[in-house]
Chain A
Amino acid sequence: MAAVTQDTAVSTGRVTRAFIYLVLVLFALFYLLPLYVMGVNSVKPLSEITGGNMMALPQVWTLEPWRQAWSTAQIGVEPTGLRPYFLNSILMVVPAVAISTIVGALNGYVLTKWRFRGDTWVFGLMLFSCFIPFQIVLIPMAVVLGKLGLAGSVAGLVLVHVVYGIGFTTLYFRNYYASFPTELVRAAMIDGAGFFRIFWRILLPVSGPIAVVSVIWQFTNIWNDFLFGVSFGGTSQPMTVALNNLVQSSTGVKEYNVHFAGAILAALPTLIVYIVAGRYFVRGLMAGSVKG
């Protein structure tokens, strides 16, 4: 692989190469700047920030803002910190990602390997759901959640995100399984494996790369969602809504250091998912492409 890239790379002179690296480093610094500002200011006392020097390293290092953001900061009317909301988000995101990915995988399996009359229409309609803006479904969704008795609960949010995510996950898995040889499914049928056994033993073990894509996509979307959270969260609001309540509170002193710490806390899970799963994602893609 490496040999191929070296052969095909445009050969460049030393000066050009140095210039390219310089530009790359500058851009990297530029993109990392906000993260630096957030990180640095989240470990300073508030006085240093209001003192006006936002770019400087802290004179007094402190983890107090993080502690406050996590457990004591005023969120709305309660001084609970972000902790309970973080828990809400986890309780919402884990089942929602798992369910939507599994349902998407099953849909993809059925739409490619157990074709039926009108399957392309079904797939087309599911694809269509990817293009519906969130705002349009707010009121109908509120009605449905109310009728189901799930309004204002984590379970309700899970349902909303699963319904919204299935279109995307189905699209991913259908396209992935479309290139999976049907002869393998037939061989498994002759071997005596049933519908779920074929899915579980034959297709799922080779679905790693696309499962990672689906998980990253769903996790990022659901974790970062604000609109559904604020509309249907009720008493069990997710992290994003809590962060908004923390930062936008219009009374008292603006504790920027706490806000920075809170924002990092809110972004951390998606960051971890990218760092951990992103590598498998790329590895999976490479393996697939080399096998051809």
Chain B
Amino acid sequence: MGFLDIRNVTKSYGSVQVLHEVDIEVQEGEFLVLVGPSGCGKSTLLNMIAGLEVITSGEIAIKGRVVNGVHPSRRNIAMVFQSYALYPNMTVGQNMTFGLEMHGVPKAERDVALARVAKLLQIDHLLDRKPGQLSGGQRQRVAMGRALVRNPDVFLFDEPLSNLDAKLRVDMRTEIKKLHQTLKTTIVYVTHDQIEAMTLSTRIAVMNKGYVQQLGTPKDIYDTPTNVYVATFMGSPAMNIVPATVMMEGGIPHAAVTDADGSIRHLRFSQPNLAEWAGKPILLGIRPEAITDPEGADRKSGNIVALSNRVGVTEPAGSDTFVTMQLCGKDIVARMRADATVAPGQVFDFAVNMEKAVAFDPATEMRIAP
């Protein structure tokens, strides 16, 4: 039993089921991120944990207590909303202590809690202002402060950073991570941004169309995505997926791929279990950073395979240079060192780290190796 248990939870509106048997066990101090495109049910799930939406079937328990019928205010949770939802007529201080006031906490205790949190978030100087007089980043802090003041069991974040501009978003992301490391509270965080999911979480639940596609640590999700959807959703640029055929050479499975000029190339797999797929088509998944110039290849990898191919487009991005080329009739992206010398139209010897390659069943799109 975890700290927050989501057991076989479903949600239906009339005959439309928007959430299918979600089963997640969150341990104390974990940072769980629910990530997925809009309409995948992640916010619905969060609202059900908060008690803002009714659970159709299944149960949610916090600290072992089933909270299905419990009013939001008695679940000992706090929520940070996308729009911050600060009460416009109250000062920052009143906003932050409103919850305590509603729970009948005496004024003196409220002031102590307010001072503690304001100091932690460095908003002491803003306490007498109205939300309308604050910048986006300050409002964000106040919204988090309002959640922190109550010392809840579980924090719920509903896309808290999506209203901020790009630079501030990165800063606040670090801030949230820092806060979690200091306070070690249990957090459930909803976002559509896979980078936020990767950087913040201790575990990620990738959701799509009301199903949890994969639940795991960021590394699990990134390195061994359970299906093509997760593979392409997580990571930017997305994982390259190309149709290939498994060939046996000297008893070792290889992926046969067609390069830009129509020649067949063989890429040696590191996964022996693909021998079962000999002669059959698969979907080969390779992350852009696993295709580099030979000097940039991972020295720790035991299986760097050379692949010479014609370069299509180069995109210098400052920190890296992205190269687009054709493989098996599809455009794939390689991530080179910034100063790799590569020109469009040139035939270049790429180094492919096949240890990081992933293979999917083309019929079910599920991972078959590793």
A residues sitting closer than 8 Å to B (CB atoms) are 181, 183-184, 186-193, 197, 201-202, 205-206, 291
Q: Which residues of B contact A192 (CB under 8 A)?
A: 73-74, 99, 102-103
- Given known contacts A186-B52, A291-B132, A193 and B102 CB-to-CB distance under 8 angstroms: yes
Q: How far is the CB of B346 from chain A (nearest CB, A)?
A: 53
The 3 A-B residue pairs with the shortest CB-CB distance in the complex, in nearest-first order: A192-B73, A191-B99, A192-B102
Q: Is B102 within 8 A of A197, CB to CB? A: yes
Residue among A192, A193, A202, A206 with the most chain B CB within 10 A?
Answer: A192
CA distance A111 to B7 in the complex (A): 34
Closest to A291 in B: B132
Q: Which one of B50, B87, B89 lies within 8 Å of A190 (CB-CB)?
A: B50
Cross-chain pair count, CB within 8 angstroms? 57
CA distance A205 to B89 in the complex (A): 6
Determine if B72 is an interface residue (Cβ-Cβ < 8 Å). Answer: yes
Q: Is A191 within 8 A of B89, CB to CB? A: no
Please, could you name 14 A-B residue pairs with CB atoms under 8 Å apart, sorted by A? A184-B86, A186-B72, A188-B87, A189-B72, A190-B50, A190-B73, A190-B78, A191-B102, A192-B99, A193-B102, A201-B87, A201-B98, A202-B87, A291-B132
Q: Which residues of A contact B72 (CB under 8 A)?
A: 186, 189-190
For B, the interface residue count at a CB cutoff of 8 angstroms equals: 24
Q: A187-B79, A191-B102 are in contact. List 13 more A-B contacts (CB 8 A).
A: A183-B81, A184-B85, A184-B87, A186-B52, A186-B81, A189-B71, A190-B51, A190-B79, A190-B99, A192-B102, A193-B98, A201-B87, A202-B89
Q: How far is the CB of A206 from chain B (nearest CB, A)?
A: 6
Q: Which residues of B contact A191 (CB under 8 A)?
A: 73, 98-99, 102, 146
Q: Which residues of B contact A201 (CB under 8 A)?
A: 87, 98
CA distance A251 to B79 in the complex (A): 75
Q: Which one of B74, B77, B83, B89 lies within 8 Å of A206 (CB-CB)?
A: B89
Determine if B88 is an interface residue (Cβ-Cβ < 8 Å). Answer: yes
Residue among A187, A188, A202 with the most chain B CB within 10 A?
Answer: A187
Q: Which one of A187, A193, A291 lies within 8 Å of B85 (CB-CB)?
A: A187
- Given known contacts A186-B81, A189-B72, A190-B72, A206 and B88 CB-to-CB distance under 8 angstroms: yes
Determine if B82 is an interface residue (Cβ-Cβ < 8 Å). Answer: yes
Q: Which residues of A contact B87 (CB under 8 A)?
A: 184, 187-188, 201-202
Q: How far is the CB of B148 from chain A (nearest CB, A)?
A: 13
List which B50-93 residues lie within 8 A (CB) of chain A: 50-52, 71-74, 77-79, 81-83, 85-89
Q: Which residues of B contact A190 (CB under 8 A)?
A: 50-52, 72-73, 77-79, 99
List which B25-66 residues lie within 8 A (CB) of chain A: 50-52
Closest to B77 in A: A190
Q: Is A183 within 8 A of B83, CB to CB? A: yes
Q: Which residues of A contact B81 (CB under 8 A)?
A: 183, 186-187
Closest to A197 in B: B102
B residues sitting closer than 8 Å to A (CB atoms) are 50-52, 71-74, 77-79, 81-83, 85-89, 98-99, 102-103, 132, 146
Q: Is B85 within 8 A of A183, CB to CB? A: yes
Closest to B87 in A: A202
Q: Which residues of B contact A186 (CB under 8 A)?
A: 50, 52, 72, 79, 81, 85
CA distance A46 to B82 in the complex (A): 71
Q: Which residues of A contact B52 (CB under 8 A)?
A: 186, 189-190
Q: How far is the CB of B60 from chain A (nearest CB, A)?
A: 15
Closest to A207 in B: B89
Q: How far is the CB of B93 from chain A (nearest CB, A)?
A: 14
- Given known contacts A190-B73, A192-B73, A181 and B83 CB-to-CB distance under 8 angstroms: yes
Q: How far is the CB of A24 from chain B (nearest CB, A)?
A: 37
Q: How far is the CB of A118 from chain B (nearest CB, A)?
A: 15
- Given known contacts A189-B72, A206-B88, A183 and B99 CB-to-CB distance under 8 angstroms: no
Q: Which residues of A contact B132 (CB under 8 A)?
A: 291
Q: Which residues of A contact B79 (CB under 8 A)?
A: 186-187, 190
Q: Which residues of A contact B51 (CB under 8 A)?
A: 190
Q: Which residues of B contact A202 (CB under 8 A)?
A: 87, 89
Q: Is B73 within 8 A of A181, CB to CB? A: no
CA distance A186 to B46 in the complex (A): 13
Q: How far is the CB of A180 from chain B (nearest CB, A)?
A: 10
Q: How far is the CB of B131 from chain A (nearest CB, A)?
A: 11
Q: Is A183 within 8 A of B82, CB to CB? A: yes
CA distance A189 to B50 in the complex (A): 10
Q: How far is the CB of B97 from chain A (nearest CB, A)?
A: 10
CA distance A291 to B89 in the complex (A): 13
Q: How far is the CB of B105 from chain A (nearest CB, A)?
A: 10
Q: How far is the CB of B150 from chain A (nearest CB, A)?
A: 8
CA distance A191 to B132 in the complex (A): 21
Residue among B51, B78, B85 with the most chain A CB within 10 A?
Answer: B85
Q: Which residues of A contact B77 (CB under 8 A)?
A: 190
CA distance A214 to B78 in the complex (A): 36
Q: Which residues of A contact B103 (CB under 8 A)?
A: 192
Q: Which residues of B contact A189 (CB under 8 A)?
A: 52, 71-73
Closest to B79 in A: A190
Q: How far is the CB of B246 from chain A (nearest CB, A)?
A: 51
Closest to A287 in B: B132
CA distance A189 to B52 in the complex (A): 8
Q: Which residues of B contact A206 (CB under 8 A)?
A: 88-89
CA distance A189 to B75 in the complex (A): 11
Q: Which residues of B contact A205 (CB under 8 A)?
A: 89
Residue among B52, B74, B82 with the most chain A CB within 10 A?
Answer: B52
Q: Which residues of A contact B73 (CB under 8 A)?
A: 189-193
Q: How far is the CB of A291 from chain B (nearest CB, A)?
A: 7
CA distance A183 to B77 in the complex (A): 16
CA distance A191 to B102 in the complex (A): 7
Residue among B79, B82, B87 with the most chain A CB within 10 A?
Answer: B87
